[in-house]
Structure 1
């Protein structure tokens, strides 16, 4: 692993106003992987200052989503609402140093300022009525009106940063007004809290969605005003649906925790999210460990990624085939029980799943396909009449007689089936179809010799006896 001169410290800082969505999960993954690549620190920060919309349930959903993905944080979670004293301390310091000031303009007066600017064809903004300047006389303080605190943004020059995804971005300070950093009741605002947090937590790299690009110049100016070092910024393009529109519920699941419920494995989701905006040559399938070893900020895509459910399902199939069968059994058992599966006296679930997993794209598909081994067979009358005929019953009886004493292995059972077919000069489907129906109740199963061996001698003989 390569190292950097300054210890790498990244952060994931969601607002707990809903579930952990796919874009947030990708941001968390990249921040986590970058810290892991450099042996650095990954910080989890909950930005919960939007008191009206933040909920404990959303906090729990975010933490559960990260736990499912295996994105373990080294520090935190830190909650902004528990850091109010620190924010007030910095506000007081800025007021004392003259980088912030009290503003007594009412919301209605500020809106009137903006309307005048719109009418004049200018960008609507706060006009600096209460901004202290040398030789300027400020208005009389209105009685019984609590002020906000505004940041004294530079009037001239530009804010420029080398974005690791988008390249150099430059914003004129004339585009930025003096933003409010504390409300009349003293509670701090979003951009101010983020800047103070990144400073206090010594964040070196800020990787986040490009919906934050407009916040970055404001945060940079605040960091400079309080004498804090600037982190390196990287803004990731959004994730789109297959139709090129912004990813939403109509494209299917958007919350990360919808995916385990649908039978997806976390390693498949991590592998898929890793490739939604980053590449390592033509590599499509790689472990999380390999990703951390490869990941850097040089190969992040500048263009939006498209979420493709079929590609995710293909990856999930790959990881299901690689997965330990006991682990798959633990995942599949609850939903199979809910569907009426009976495990007592039935084949070993892990062994069944190992046989069935080749074609399953999700654990849910695997569980549903495996139910045939864990319920009483109930073939449709029409299918039974078509395949379990009087002509074939003597062959089934012969099969039952042989199966009672044959060595219990797939190879021995397969050889015995061939012998029964040869003795009766019939082809495999004439025996396999009625066997499938008597044993499972359906015509579509894995190879009949596998099915027979997995059910076990006792069950096979008992089910054949019902038809003979």
Structure 2
């Protein structure tokens, strides 16, 4: 069975790059009826926080990236790591290194002076003397000194590294705590990982880890190193580019599946298709089609994809995600039209759920003032007669439906021998408070007959005040 994992460190927020790695791992497992595991790599006790752990869990839940096992915490596995380290020491595959920081600094300076690559020179690899006093040793793995490591990377292709290029990596710090390269190998081995999908900033670690797998007699998983995400200026993605906590995208009104759609297209493609549902991603995704070059984050493209999902997603799903934004604006959706009808009317124009909530305000909240620019342009004395006539026709309607409302507006324009715009635009400002809305007849239907008539009264009052001040 295929097994993948996402293994973030809880030392900060869960950002876009991490989510894309999680998504690719999740998709590969789901597509192959495998298992996806969440592991929290919290061995950095100084920087790991419970707040960051919770942000990871909340982000995964919002995105719908469910896991079959976990969260598994590395801090609960220290006994296992110590057992493995002792086993490597007992089999002479690891050793205590007593080199002090000063000694290591001097060694590197000498290597630089000789034009060599700075690296640990193995000076304690075969040490049998008396350990120096006052030095707490680290434990180093005895990396093979000959041969080469071959990585058949599922994204980058074949990578060959000579063992002579690799030094003896530290697997336990001087305080006895295990290092990343040791814990990740032990975890992936114990948890039966078949595929390790991660960022390509780990490529340099992989040959060392493969040698550790072999020393432990463990089966080496397949590796897929995903290229990094760059900002639009070509530099590594940072906060100024949008590499914020994934939960901030939730707060900014993005649908989770739209964010996943955008991320899956960062480095992967299927024909010319741009918009994918989550089931389509599961069906079509394949690692072999992941681009080996870095991808560029583009906020405008993300907004466009979000807009496409807002337009096409199931209306009940849309309402579920829209409701918190309505509540945040203090809007009581029980006092007005059914929210699903409003959302369905607004979904064509909105790029985010925040924009949709803003656009829905006048359906649930009366106003006392009009948008200044819209009023200046459309609530002029010349609009008084069209508004009064429409108001009369609205009051006479026995059926308050969009078709009847549209016919009433047309009749008013015909009676006055003016174009629809001369009636429709002042009416739009009158009943919505501004100059932008979906079709005025459908909008009026949802606002309601009584409210529309009352709001036209308010507009007529504004025109009267304007006449008096002229």
TM-score tier, shorter chain, comes to over 0.9
- Cα distance in 1, alignment partners of residues 360 and 241 from structure 2: 29
The answer on whether the counterparts of 1:410 and 1:449 sit within 8 Å (CA) in structure 2 is yes
1:236 counterpart residue number: 226
- Cα distance in 1, alignment partners of residues 324 and 152 from structure 2: 50
Change in CA separation of 1:382 and 1:178 when aligned onto 2, cut-off 3 Å: closer
- Cα distance in 1, alignment partners of residues 371 and 291 from structure 2: 54
> Counterparts of 1:235-254 in structure 2 under 5 Å?
235-254=225-244
Deviation at 1:387, TM superposition (A): 4.2
Deviations 1:381-426 (A, max 9, x none): 7865764455554443332232223222111111122122212222
- Cα distance in 1, alignment partners of residues 354 and 239 from structure 2: 20
Change in CA separation of 1:402 and 1:299 when aligned onto 2, cut-off 3 Å: same
Deviations 1:145-175 (A, max 9, x none): 3322111111111111111111111111111
2:43 corresponds to which of 40, 49, 57? 49
Deviations 1:119-146 (A, max 9, x none): 22222222222212xxxx6332223433
- Cα distance in 1, alignment partners of residues 316 and 96 from structure 2: 64
Deviation at 1:338, TM superposition (A): 4.1
2:412 paired with 1:409? no
- Cα distance in 1, alignment partners of residues 172 and 438 from structure 2: 67
2:83 paired with 1:93? no
1:76 corresponds to which of 70, 82, 96? 70
SS in structure 1 of the partner of residue 187 of structure 2: helix
Deviation at 1:374, TM superposition (A): 3.0
SS in structure 2 of the partner of residue 129 of structure 1: coil
1:441 counterpart residue number: 433
**What stretches of structure 1 of length at least 5 have no aligned partner?**
1-6
**What stretches of structure 2 of length at least 5 have no aligned partner?**
462-470
The answer on whether the counterparts of 1:265 and 1:316 sit within 8 Å (CA) in structure 2 is yes
2:455 paired with 1:463? yes
SS in structure 2 of the partner of residue 186 of structure 1: coil
SS in structure 2 of the partner of residue 102 of structure 1: strand
Change in CA separation of 1:24 and 1:121 when aligned onto 2, cut-off 3 Å: same
2:33 paired with 1:39? yes
The answer on whether the counterparts of 1:240 and 1:304 sit within 8 Å (CA) in structure 2 is yes
Deviation at 1:364, TM superposition (A): 0.9
2:197 corresponds to which of 189, 204, 207? 207
SS in structure 2 of the partner of residue 298 of structure 1: helix
The answer on whether the counterparts of 1:340 and 1:375 sit within 8 Å (CA) in structure 2 is no
Deviation at 1:325, TM superposition (A): 3.6
Paired residues in the alignment total: 458
- Cα distance in 1, alignment partners of residues 424 and 153 from structure 2: 64
Change in CA separation of 1:345 and 1:191 when aligned onto 2, cut-off 3 Å: closer
Deviations 1:342-387 (A, max 9, x none): 6464333332221111011111111112223333331267865764
1:151 corresponds to which of 141, 150, 167? 141
Change in CA separation of 1:293 and 1:345 when aligned onto 2, cut-off 3 Å: closer
The answer on whether the counterparts of 2:241 and 2:297 sit within 8 Å (CA) in structure 1 is no
2:57 paired with 1:63? yes
2:107 paired with 1:113? yes
- Cα distance in 2, alignment partners of residues 419 and 166 from structure 1: 68
- Cα distance in 2, alignment partners of residues 449 and 339 from structure 1: 25
Change in CA separation of 1:279 and 1:343 when aligned onto 2, cut-off 3 Å: closer
TM-score, length-scaled by structure 1? 0.92
2:192 paired with 1:192? no
SS in structure 1 of the partner of residue 205 of structure 2: helix
2:6 paired with 1:12? yes
- Cα distance in 2, alignment partners of residues 385 and 19 from structure 1: 46
- Cα distance in 1, alignment partners of residues 275 and 322 from structure 2: 24
SS in structure 2 of the partner of residue 149 of structure 1: strand
Structure 1 window deviating more from structure 2 (247-256 vs 175-184): it is: 247-256
Deviation at 1:87, TM superposition (A): 0.5
2:380 paired with 1:371? no
- Cα distance in 2, alignment partners of residues 190 and 267 from structure 1: 32
- Cα distance in 1, alignment partners of residues 187 and 32 from structure 2: 22
Change in CA separation of 1:442 and 1:144 when aligned onto 2, cut-off 3 Å: closer
Structure 1 window deviating more from structure 2 (156-165 vs 83-92): it is: 156-165
Deviation at 1:441, TM superposition (A): 2.0
Change in CA separation of 1:145 and 1:331 when aligned onto 2, cut-off 3 Å: same
- Cα distance in 2, alignment partners of residues 391 and 50 from structure 1: 71
TM-score, length-scaled by structure 2? 0.92
1:29 corresponds to which of 17, 23, 27? 23
> Counterparts of 1:107-186 in structure 2 under 5 Å?
107-132=101-126, 138-186=128-176
CA RMSD in angstroms comes to: 2.0
- Cα distance in 1, alignment partners of residues 382 and 133 from structure 2: 103
Deviations 1:52-86 (A, max 9, x none): 11111111111111111111111111111110000
2:419 corresponds to which of 424, 427, 451? 427
- Cα distance in 1, alignment partners of residues 331 and 419 from structure 2: 33
The answer on whether the counterparts of 1:130 and 1:139 sit within 8 Å (CA) in structure 2 is no
